[in-house]
Amino acid sequence: DIQMTQSPASLSASLGETVTIECRASEDIYNGLAWYQQKPGKSPQLLIYNANSLHTGVPSRFSGSGSGTQYSLKINSLQSEDVASYFCQQYYDYQNTFGAGTKLELK
Amino acid sequence: QVQLKESGPGLVQPSQTLSLTCTVAGFSLTSYNVHWVRQPPGKGLEWMGVIWNTGGTRYNSALKSRLSISKDTSKSQVFLKMNSLQTEDTATYYCARDPHYPGIHYVMDAWGQGASVTVSS
């Protein structure tokens, strides 16, 4: 299986700050990568697919980038409603796998 | 409005079989694929399997021997059955829709609220 290593595991940031979360795949996943947001006690919500395509209705302050084995999720101008855990998922291989998650808190 | 809702027992005894139902609304199971994903308490997400709009299935190789996914299209329901449950199967179980982006599979754009399952005697 393709392993997804996500960093950092937790992150504390201030309102209005720009935040970046990284995800590294154990092999090339050819942009087959999605990002999900999971607020406390809620279900995951799709943010980004194909590494950099914004899902319908997702605010434009979220963006994805990367290629090969290295990918990142950037949140511009952090808002209070962005407090959540974020997970990357590779779907290049049908045995799709998720990163362990990044917990984002407000400083 | 797209909706998915999981239902099933909250408590299952070790070695027994888990049966969950996902009832969907706002879309047809003949047009969209539905996945099952689980999340142990305080941990990450694990993809379990998918039932295609055509009725075919694909499973996580780690669970394949214990897992079965089926559906009743007329009732808009997807079913998960997993046998030989152990304490490590304690988790919240989600069903989720695949948005059917061209050429893309295994992405999930709408999720149920989740069904909490505890495996304990």
Q: Which residues of A touch B104 (CB under 8 A)?
A: 32, 49-50, 91
Cα gap A64→B46, rounded to integer Å: 22
Asked if pLDDT for residue B73 goes beyond 90, the answer is: yes
Q: From the CA of A94, how many Å to the nearest CA of chain B?
A: 7
Q: From the CA of B13, how many Å to the nearest CA of chain A?
A: 25
Whose CA is closest to A87, among A23, A2, A14, A1?
A23
The shortest CB-CB distance from A43 to any of B44, B105, B114 is to B114
Whose CA is closest to B94, among B115, B78, B110?
B115
The predicted structure's pLDDT at residue B95: 98
Confidence of residue B28 (pLDDT cuts 50, 70, 90): very high
Cα gap B119→B10, rounded to integer Å: 9
Q: From the CA of A14, how many Å to the nearest CA of chain B?
A: 24
The predicted structure's pLDDT at residue B104: 85
The predicted structure's pLDDT at residue B101: 87
Confidence of residue B105 (pLDDT cuts 50, 70, 90): confident
Distances (CA, A) of B81 to A55, A67, A94, B60, B69: 31, 37, 21, 14, 6
Cα B77 to chain center, whole Å? 11
Contact B47 A96 (CB under 8 A): yes
Q: Which residues of A touch B98 (CB under 8 A)?
A: none
The predicted structure's pLDDT at residue A82: 97
- Percent of chain B having pLDDT more than 70? 100
Contact A94 B107 (CB under 8 A): no
Residues of chain A falling short of pLDDT 50:
none
The predicted structure's pLDDT at residue B6: 98
Asked if pLDDT for residue B103 goes beyond 90, the answer is: no
Q: Which residues of A touch B43 (CB under 8 A)?
A: 100
The shortest CB-CB distance from A87 to any of B45, B94, B105 is to B45
Q: Assign residue A100 a region: left if phi > 0, alpha if psi is -120 to 50, beta otherwise?
A: alpha
B29-69 pLDDT, tens per residue? 999 999 999 999 999 999 999 999 999 999 999 999 999 99
Asked if pLDDT for residue B102 goes beyond 90, the answer is: no
- Report the residue of chain A nearest B98, measured CA to CA: A46
Pairing of strands B3-7, B18-25: antiparallel
DSSP state of A55: P
Confidence of residue B71 (pLDDT cuts 50, 70, 90): very high
Asked if pLDDT for residue B11 goes beyond 90, the answer is: yes
Top residue of A3, A29, A37, A43 to mutate, by most chain B CBs within 10 Å, is A43
B12: three-class secondary structure by DSSP? strand
